[in-house]
Structure formats: C-alpha cells, structure tokens
Amino acid sequence: MTTRMSTLSLAHRLAGAPKAATVGLPAKEAKSAEESTVARQVAAAPALASAPAPAAAFVLVLALALTFAGATTAWAQASPAAPPVAQPECIAPAKSGGGFDVTCRLVRTMFDDARLVASPVRITHLLGGIGAVAFHSIVATRPADPSALVAFSAGSLLNLAQGKFGPYTEKDVRWVASLGMDYGVVVVRKDARYQTLKDLVSALKANPNGVVFGAGGTLGSQDWLKSAKVSRAAGVDFKLMRFVAFEGGGEALTALTGGHVQVVAGDASEAAQLLAAGAPIRVLAVLASERLPGALATVPTAMEQGYDIRWPIVRGVYVGGKVSDADYRAWVESFRQLMARPTYPKQRAAAGLFPQTLVGDALTDYVRSTMADYRQLAGEYALRVPRAAPIP
C-alpha cells in the first residue's frame, strides 16, 4: 500500500495534477471526482511537452491507470456482493416484537441501505414451537429455496438440542451468518417492589408461589431456563417454579407490562427497545460476564450482585440444507461484506445487539459446539435429549 501511494503521489507531481481523494465516497461522487481528476490530468498534458516523449507518455498513462484503479476500489467498497436472489424473504418464527423479528428487521436494514435488493426484504412471521414450525417448513418443503432466510437464536438451538424440532438436527440446514450477540436480562414492571436481583431472589425464597415468571416458550425454552437459573439461585426447585408460556419474548413482555406476570427472564435487545419506547419496565440484571454498553449500561450484571447466571444469545440466519453451494456462498459473502461496512456497527446497535460476526464454516462450527453444550445442559435439567435421527 505504501509503494502504491508513493507511486501515485509521484505521478501526480510529475503530471502537475492534484491528488485524487475518493476512497469512501459514494459511487456517484467517487466517479465524478475521478472524472474531474482525469480531465485535469489531460489538460495538464501540454506541460509535459518539454519532457522526452516516452517519459511524458509513461507518466500520463501511469496516472490514468492508477486513477482508474482508485475508482474501482471506491466502487467495490460502496457495493458489497449481491445476494443470490433479487427479492429475499426473512422468516421470523414468532410474533412481531420479539428477538426473531429484531433479527429480520436488521437483515432488511442491511440489504436495503446497501441497495442490494429490488425492494425491501419481505418479513414473514411463521409461528409455532419457538422456531420448530419454521425449521420444519424449510427442511421439508423449501430445502433448496435460496430466497428464504430464517432467523434463529440460542433458543432455537436449545430446542433443537432437546428434540423439539422432531427428527431434524443442526446438520439439516446451512448456517449463513451470525449478526450479533444478545444477552439474557431479568425484567420486572417499573412499579414492582423489586429494586435489585437480590430483592427478587429474597421474595422467591420467602414465597416461591408468589412470583410468576413469563417465558417466551414452554418447558425447556431458553426463557424458561433463565427463569429456572434465577429460581435455583434462590434455592427453589425449578420444578416448582411458576411460569406462563407465551409465543415469543415480545408476547411475554407485553404480558409483563399488562400485569399478568411478575417477572420475565427475556433478552437485552427486546428490553432495550421497550425502554426506548417508554415502556414501564425495570431491568434488574443483565446475564453477561460484564456490563453491556448502550441503553443498559447502568444495569449491573447478575454476577456483580452475587449470582453466577450468564446467558449469551447468538442471533443469525440460516437457509435450507439443499440450497446449492453457489447460492450458499453468495449469501455468506454478501453478509460478510455487509457486516464489514463502517455503517454496520450502528445498524447492529440500533437492533440492540452486540459484536459477534460469524459466517459460513465459522458459524457452523460455533453452532455444533453450542449444540453439544446445550445437550449437556438439557440433561442437567432433566429435559429430553433424543438420539439424532435422519430425515425420513
């Protein structure tokens, strides 16, 4: 890079032309700036008349070639690799307002802002089993469809590890990209008597039946497990924990604000967006190793409050297991380049997510490792762990 820039500067000095500075400009502006620079170089060509003809020609050709290379670089930076289809669909396996919906909306923002699709990414909500219905739909009816992305989370992987997705395993789809990391949180109403996680644990110890958890999912879901970990911290048998199951975290938090449940062990991204909208909630703890930046920066971790409860939540997308290698690679490369753009950290933060970007093989390895951990955790909490079976 140093040699190239030095050569470019020398060529400009010899040609009597100003340096081009277009890297990072939008494509149209970059092209206009480069054309202006070329025009100035051509206009300055007579000044080279006193130099030997071969030398003057070499300098001018070199300057023009390097200018064209700079324009190509700027264009490449402004235009990430296109997806394999012009009109993608992102399937959110729960109702609007939950983590799956957050993931699909982030996908739409990424592709729309980069102008890589003909029209906004279509978001479809396919409810059932915290991802089970969507997983079955893709594997059984659309396994080779490159247009359908499906949002997944740690909760999807946890249910998959317990056999809640039927005979299917993590090997039956192709894992495309992890868009970021989310974390568990413990949330109560703003007017609740619990000011800290310790207050909630004390209340559970005093009267386990007096606290009702809302969970985005049934027995064994990630919200249920987060709730079970809080109950266990209070010395309460998780089998005696009171909880109400909802179809997704958004619905559980709605029930919380309506006073139908007292606590939701939900997700940071969902809680942050509710707080930004002025919802009457209080976050007692984040289930991360350290405090989170942004809207929840003042919320202490459970570990700070004396409870070793952590729950990281990967969020990303997958496609059907029979999508062609070419289409799969196109999706992987498109997401890789979109997440490398300088605009992505702001887009990710707006979705309430934190840095973790994995694509292709790296994400596949992460999923398989995480699945092994979840199968072990499922055994610890006496949840069903089936033997993997092939697709019929």
Domain boundaries, the chain: 2-78, 89-181+315-380, 183-312
Distance CA 324, CA 101 (A): 26
pLDDT on residue 213? 95
In this predicted structure, what is the pLDDT of residue 95? 82
CB 264 within 8 A of CB 189: no
Rounded to the nearest 10°, the torsion over CA 203, 204, 206, 207 is 110
Residues of the chain with pLDDT under 50: 1-77, 388-392
Sign of CA dihedral 14, 15, 18, 23: negative
Taking the CB of residue 50, how many other CB atoms lie within 10 A of it?
7
Nearest to 208 by CA among 239, 183, 180: 239
Class in CATH terms, 183-312: alpha beta
- Tell me whether the CATH fold assigned to 89-181+315-380 matches the one assigned to 183-312: yes
Query: Quick one: which H or E segment has residue 104?
Result: helix 99-113
Write the secondary structure of 12-78 as one string of H (helix), E (strand) and C (coil): HHHHCCCCCCCCCCCHHHHHHHHHHHHHHHHHCHHHHCCCCHHHHHHHHHHHHHHHHHHHHHHHHHH
pLDDT of residue 75: 38
Beta-strand (E) ranges in the chain?
Answer: 89-92, 122-125, 148-153, 173-189, 212-216, 242-246, 263-267, 281-287, 312-320, 358-359
The structure's pTM equals 0.71
Q: What is d(CA 262, CA 249) in angstroms, rounded to the nearest whole number?
A: 14
Q: What is the pLDDT of residue 355?
A: 92
Instruction: State the Cα–Cα distance between residues 309 and 328, nearest whole angstrom.
Output: 36
| pLDDT 10s digits, 335-378 | 999 999 999 999 999 888 999 999 999 999 999 999 999 999 98
pLDDT at 253: 86
Integer angstrom CA distances of residue 78 from 17, 31, 34, 345, 347: 26, 12, 15, 16, 16
> Token pair of 177, please?
């990209």
Kindly give, in sequence order, each residue whose CB lies less than 8 Å from that of residue 300, ignoring residues fewer than 6 positions away. 196, 197, 285, 286, 291
89-181+315-380 CATH, one of 2.30.30.50, 3.40.50.2000, 3.40.190.150, 3.40.50.1360: 3.40.190.150
